[in-house]
Amino acid sequence: MSQQVTLIATAAMGIEASVAREVKALGYQDVQVENGRVVFTADASAIPRANLWLRTADRIKLQVGRFKAFTFDELFEKTKALPWELFISEDGQFPVVGKSIKSKLYSVPDCQAIVKKAIVERLKKKYGIASWLKETGALYRVEVALHKDEVLLTLDTSGSGLHKRGYRVGQGEAPLKETLAAALVQFTNWKPDHPFIDVFCGSGTIAIEAALIGQNIAPGFNREFASENWSFIPQPDWERAFEEAEDFAKYDQPLDITGSDIDPELINIAKQNAVEAGLGDLITWKQMRMTDFKPKRKNGYLISNPPYGERMGERKEVEQMYRDLGAMMRDFPSWSVYILTSHEQFEQLYGSQASKKRKLFNGFIKTDYYQYFGRHE
Ligand SMILES: C[S@@+](CC[C@H](N)C(=O)[O-])C[C@H]1O[C@@H](n2cnc3c(N)ncnc32)[C@H](O)[C@@H]1O
């Protein structure tokens, strides 16, 4: 078995529970949920698996140490005492980034320089190098994050954020992050045999994430990760993780997923994104005004991220659209409706109280996820 590690799956505020559920579904039991992150311990093969499979996490960080520090000396000595050589190879490159919140050590450039120096000293001693470290090999991005004098030292295993699935060739004005779109689907009871529509699909993110979930396709299948070249992760662990992703995909699972939008340009972009995601013509794309939606089947799910009406001159139109949506969906009581918006009067405009609400951030915008459960027939 490979080495035990502590991993941190970072997540947007509000979707930690979804990340924790996904981590447990991968078979890792020792899971703690904190603000903005989910911490779990596992052997190193969890690094490829978590990067490949977690749909709602932002990135996977490896925790090297966590301790209190009130002085630069303490930061230096405690950093130097950590076993960096277990992770960073002799020729590894390790730039240090940092952040500090409500801590005595508030100068981030100083913290970064001290951490860098401490790791250099540690590695030179452990690798028996008298001169300088070459830093020509694999990339290990170190982060020193201070919060209320607690120091968290991590290595970023993901590289670019996990929302970068590799399928987005085009986007509209306000695309949803892929991780949030996946969470919106996971917060519902939608199953692959239920009809699904996003009537404000834009570049198609929610429908594409639903199709990936529906066919159990690993979201990271089309991309690379920073830790693919790390020597302490046995190469077979990566190979097995990619093979597992291939074995678990259900490419034959039929789906009834539609994305529609009033803007024909966006429908073209959504189509291209879906092709890039390897979904071909699995999703039905339609240029259509929201009010023209007529469900053909029962027990469906409408999951959408409509305009919020925050822009000048747009509010009245958006409010009318919410009224129209409510009036329209009242004729289809077996359908469940899930809407993400920042508009605080959404329920009044839609015409009924949501079965459930969940506070979520869409980037920096505070939103609510309004959930109306349909009566399945
Ligand atoms: C916030 S964007 C959705 C972004 C999308 N979730 C994505 O990831 O790209 C809202 C979308 O609603 C569409 N829209 C606005 N009014 C509409 C209407 N009456 N019927 C259908 N779509 C409409 C806009 O063209 C826009 O693409």
Pair (46, 183) in one structural domain: no
Neighbours of 148 (CB within 10 A): 9
Pair (207, 266) in one structural domain: yes
| Residue 289 confidence class, pLDDT cut points 50, 70, 90 | very high
Domain boundary among 102, 125, 156: 156
Give me the phi and psi of 186, to 5 degrees please: -70, -25
Q: Are 94 and 176 in contact (CB under 8 A)?
A: no
Neighbours of 251 (CB within 10 A): 11
Pair (114, 190) in one structural domain: no
For residue 175, the CA-to-ligand 1 centroid distance in Å is 9
pLDDT > 90? residue 237: yes
Is any ligand 1 atom within 6 A of the Cβ of residue 306?
yes
Say what the pLDDT of residue 1 is.
Answer: 58
* pLDDT tens, position by position, 105-117: 999 999 999 999 9
CA dist., res. 151 & res. 79, Å (int):
9
Is any ligand 1 atom within 6 A of the Cβ of residue 142?
no
In a domain, 74, yes or no: yes
pLDDT > 70? residue 244: yes
Whole-number average pLDDT of the chain: 96
Pair (129, 188) in one structural domain: no
For residue 15, the CA-to-ligand 1 centroid distance in Å is 23
Helices 178-186 and 16-25 meet at what angle, rounded to 10? Answer: 80
Pair of tokens at residue 330: 């009242």
Is any ligand 1 atom within 6 A of the Cβ of residue 203?
yes
Pair of tokens at residue 303: 């999951």
Domain boundary among 105, 122, 156: 156
β-bridge partners, 285: 259
Say what the pLDDT of residue 2 is.
Answer: 73
205: domain CATH number is 3.40.50.150
Ligand 1, residue 198: give the atom nearest the CA.
6
- More reliable by pLDDT, 131 or 288: 288
Contacts of residue 313, defined as CB under 8 A and 6 or more positions apart, other chains included, come to none
Ligand 1, residue 172: give the atom nearest the CA.
9
β-bridge partners, 257: 196
For residue 202, the CA-to-ligand 1 centroid distance in Å is 5
Find the angle CA(309)-CA(296)-CA(353) to the nearest 5 degrees: 40
Domain count, the chain: 2
In a domain, 242, yes or no: no
> Whose Cα sits closest to atom 25 in ligand 1?
263
In a domain, 236, yes or no: no
* pLDDT tens, position by position, 8-53: 999 999 999 999 999 999 999 889 999 999 999 999 999 999 999 9
Say what the pLDDT of residue 255 is.
Answer: 98
CA dist., res. 161 & res. 214, Å (int):
23
Is any ligand 1 atom within 6 A of the Cβ of residue 324?
no
What are the distances in angstroms from CA 44 to CA 31, 175, 210? 16, 34, 29
Residue the block writes with tokens 């529609």? 260
Q: Which amino acid is at 219?
A: P
For residue 193, the CA-to-ligand 1 centroid distance in Å is 25
- More reliable by pLDDT, 377 or 254: 254
Is any ligand 1 atom within 6 A of the Cβ of residue 205?
yes
Say what the pLDDT of residue 312 is.
Answer: 76
Say what the pLDDT of residue 173 is.
Answer: 83
Ligand 1, residue 304: give the atom nearest the CA.
6
Say what the pLDDT of residue 250 is.
Answer: 97
Pair (148, 184) in one structural domain: no
302: left (phi over 0), alpha (psi -120 to 50) or beta: beta
| Residue 200 confidence class, pLDDT cut points 50, 70, 90 | very high
Q: Is the pTM of this model over 0.75?
A: yes
User: What's the rounded mean pLDDT across residues 276-290?
Assistant: 95
Residue the block writes with tokens 């309004």? 370
| C-alpha of 315 from chain center | 30
CA dist., res. 370 & res. 346, Å (int):
8
In a domain, 240, yes or no: no
Q: Name the H helices within the chain.
A: 16-25, 46-53, 72-80, 108-127, 178-186, 205-214, 235-248, 264-276, 315-329, 346-350
Pair (76, 189) in one structural domain: no
Is any ligand 1 atom within 6 A of the Cβ of residue 167?
no
In a domain, 167, yes or no: no
Is any ligand 1 atom within 6 A of the Cβ of residue 172?
yes
Pair (61, 123) in one structural domain: yes
- Is residue 34 helix, strand or coil? strand
Q: Which residue range(s) make up the domain with 101? A: 4-156
Pair (192, 285) in one structural domain: yes
Q: Which of 177, 178, 199, 200 to mutate to test the pocket of ligand 1 (most atoms within 8 A of CB)?
A: 200
E strand or H helix at 179: helix 178-186
Pair of tokens at residue 87: 């992770």
In a domain, 164, yes or no: no
In a domain, 152, yes or no: yes
Pair (120, 197) in one structural domain: no
Q: Are 133 and 123 in contact (CB under 8 A)?
A: yes
* pLDDT tens, position by position, 220-234: 998 999 999 999 999
In a domain, 233, yes or no: no
Pair (360, 308) in one structural domain: yes
Domain boundary among 126, 156, 186: 156
Pair (201, 146) in one structural domain: no
125: domain CATH number is 3.30.2130.30
- More reliable by pLDDT, 280 or 151: 151
Say what the pLDDT of residue 358 is.
Answer: 96
For residue 75, the CA-to-ligand 1 centroid distance in Å is 49
Q: Are 28 and 42 in contact (CB under 8 A)?
A: yes
CA dist., res. 215 & res. 246, Å (int):
11
pLDDT > 80? residue 343: yes
Q: Are 177 and 170 in contact (CB under 8 A)?
A: no
Pair of tokens at residue 142: 């170190």
> Whose Cα sits closest to atom 16 in ligand 1?
262
Pair (130, 265) in one structural domain: no
